[in-house]
Amino acid sequence: MHTFDFYNPVGIHFGENSISKLTHELEKFGPNVLLTYGGGSIKRNGIYQAVLDSLKAARKNVFELSGIMANPRTEKVYEGIRMCRDHAIDFILAVGGGSVIDCSKFIAVGAKLDGDFWETLLIKQESMGEALPLGVVLTLAATGSEMNATCVITHWQKHLKLAYEHDLLYPKFSILDPIYTYSVSKSQMVFGCVDILSHIFEVYFSAPDTSNVSDDIAEALMKNVMENLAVALNNPRDYTARSNIMWASSMALNGLLGLGKEQDWMGHQIEHALSAFYDVPHGAGLAVVHPVYLKYICQKVPKKFVRYAQHIWHLDRSGKTEEAIALESVEKTRAYFKSIGAPITLQEVGIPAEAINEMAATVHPFPTSYAHLTQEDVKHILQQCLE
Ligand code: NZQ
Ligand code: ZN
C-alpha cells in the first residue's frame, strides 16, 4: 500500500424509508432551500412528494430548480446560481442521480464565488473559499457523487466536459433508499453498473500490484455488481439486488477503494470527450471506451490482468502465455458489457469515424501507473472503438 490521507465526512442514511431521516437533517440548516431535480422522473415515482412532505415538516421555504439534464451543462449552473442569490438560499437539496448532484455542487460553489465558476474553477483551476451546504436524495446508483466531493460539468459550445473536486463539496448527508431506484430503466441501470465497474477498474488497474487490501475489495465489488445486476435485470424490484448495487456505487467512488493506490482515470478522461461532443450517457460511453483502453494497457502489465482473469473470469491458464490470458480477460470484459445490453462501439452510440480526431484533440493524457498516452494513442484507441 502507498502512503495516503483519508477524509470523508458524508453522513449516510441507507435503506428502505430512509427518507424519514430527511426532516431531522434539514432542521440543521437555514430556512431557504433550493430543491434541485431532473426532467421529471421524481414526479412520476412519488419521490418528489415524499421530499416535499419532509421539507414542509421542517418548515422550509422551498425554491425549485427543475430540468437538470443528464450530462449537465453550464447554463443550468448559472440558472441555479442566480436563484441562490435572488432567494438568499441557505441549503441545496439535490434529488436525483449524478447529473443533478454534480450540477448542484457547482451551484453550491458558484453562488459563493465572485468570478465566473467555469473560468475560475475549471479553466484557471483556482481554489474556492466557501460553498453552500448541500444534501442528497439519491435516485440512481452509478456515479458515487452522493458520497464524494467531485462534480463534472459540460460546456456544450466548447464541447468540453471537465471535473472539479474540493472538500467543501462533500454532501452534508445522503439518503440512499434502494426502493427509489426501482423505477430506473433497464438501460440506465446497465449504464450505472458499467460506470461502477469502470470506477473500480480505474483503481484496480494501477500500481501497486503487490498484495493490498484495496485490490481485494475491488474484486469483491466487481463480483457483487455483476451478480446483482443479473438479478435486478431479471427482477427490477429485487430489494437485495438493488440495495447491493446502490451501496456498491457509493463504495466504488467514495475514496475508500483508491486508498494506497495510484489510480488511473484515462478511461474516464477519454469517455468525457464522447459525452462532450455527442451527449452520450456516461456509462454507455465507458462501455465503448474502457475495454479498449484496457486492451491497450494489458500487455504492459500482463501479470495484473492474469490475476483479474483468474479471480473475476475464472479463465483457464493452461498452455497460454500471460499476454494471451491478459488479452482474453479484456475480451471477456467487452463481451460482458455487450451481454448486459451496453453499447460497445462508437457507431452504437451514434459517433462517426470522422469525429475521432476532433474528440481526441480535447483529451489531455497524463502519465499513469501503466502508460503515458500521447494524443496519437488516444486516436488509436478511439479508432479501435469503431469495431
Ligand atoms: O432527469 P430525470 O427525469 O430524473 O431522469 C433521469 C435521467 O434521465 C433518470 N433517472 C434518475 N433516477 C431515476 C431516473 N429514472 C427513473 N427513476 C429514477 N429513480 O436517469 C437518467 C440519467 O440520470 P443521470 O443523473 O444523468 O445519471 P448518472 O447518475 O449516471 O449521472 C451521470 C453524470 O454524472 C457524471 C457523469 O459524467 C454524468 O455527467 N459523473 C459524476 C461523477 C462524480 N460526481 O463523482 C463521477 C462519474 O465518473 C461521472 O463522471
Ligand atoms: Zn464514471
Check residue 127 and give its pLDDT.
Answer: 80
Q: pTM above 0.75? A: yes
Q: What percent of the chain has pLDDT over 90?
A: 98
Pocket test for ligand 1, best of 43, 137, 139, 143 (most atoms within 8 A of CB): 143
- What stretches of the chain show up as alpha helix (H) in DSSP? 22-26, 41-44, 47-57, 74-86, 98-110, 117, 186-204, 213-234, 239-252, 266-278, 282-298, 302-313, 322-339, 356-361, 375-384
Distance between CA atoms of residues 101 and 94, nearest Å: 6
pLDDT over threshold 90, residue 342: yes
Q: How far is the CA of 248 from the centre of ligand 1 (A)?
A: 16
Q: What does the alpha-carbon distance between residue 369 and residue 367 come to, in Å, rounded to a whole number?
A: 7
Cα–Cα distance measured from residue 26 to residue 24, given in angstroms and rounded to the nearest whole number:
5
For each of the domains in the chain, give its residue range(s) and CATH number, in order of start.
Answer: 11-180 (3.40.50.1970), 186-384 (1.20.1090.10)
Task: Specify whether the CB–CB gap between 364 and 163 falls below 8 A.
Answer: no
Ligand found nearest the CA of 198 = 2
Which of the ligands is closest to the CA of residue 48?
Answer: 1
Which of the four pLDDT bands, split at 50, 70 and 90, describes residue 129?
confident
Q: What pLDDT digit, counting tens, does each position of 247-293 carry? A: 999 999 999 999 999 999 999 999 999 999 999 999 999 999 999 99
Grid-cell match 430527511, residue found: 22
- Nearest 5°: phi and psi at 161? -120, 115
Measured by CA distance, the residue closest to atom 38 of ligand 1 is 71
pLDDT computed for residue 374 by the predictor: 94
Grid coordinates representing 170 are 462533500
CA 306 to ligand 1 center in whole angstroms? 33
pLDDT reading at 354 higher than 90: yes
143-174 confidence digits (pLDDT tens): 999 999 999 999 999 999 999 999 999 999 99
Ligand 1 pocket residues where CB is under 6 Å = 38-42, 45, 70-71, 96-100, 102, 139-140, 142-145, 148, 150-152, 180-181, 183-184, 188, 192, 195, 253, 268, 282-283
3-class DSSP assignment, residue 382: helix
Report the residue among 106, 145, 242 best suited for mutation to probe ligand 1: largest number of ligand atoms under 8 A from its CB: 145
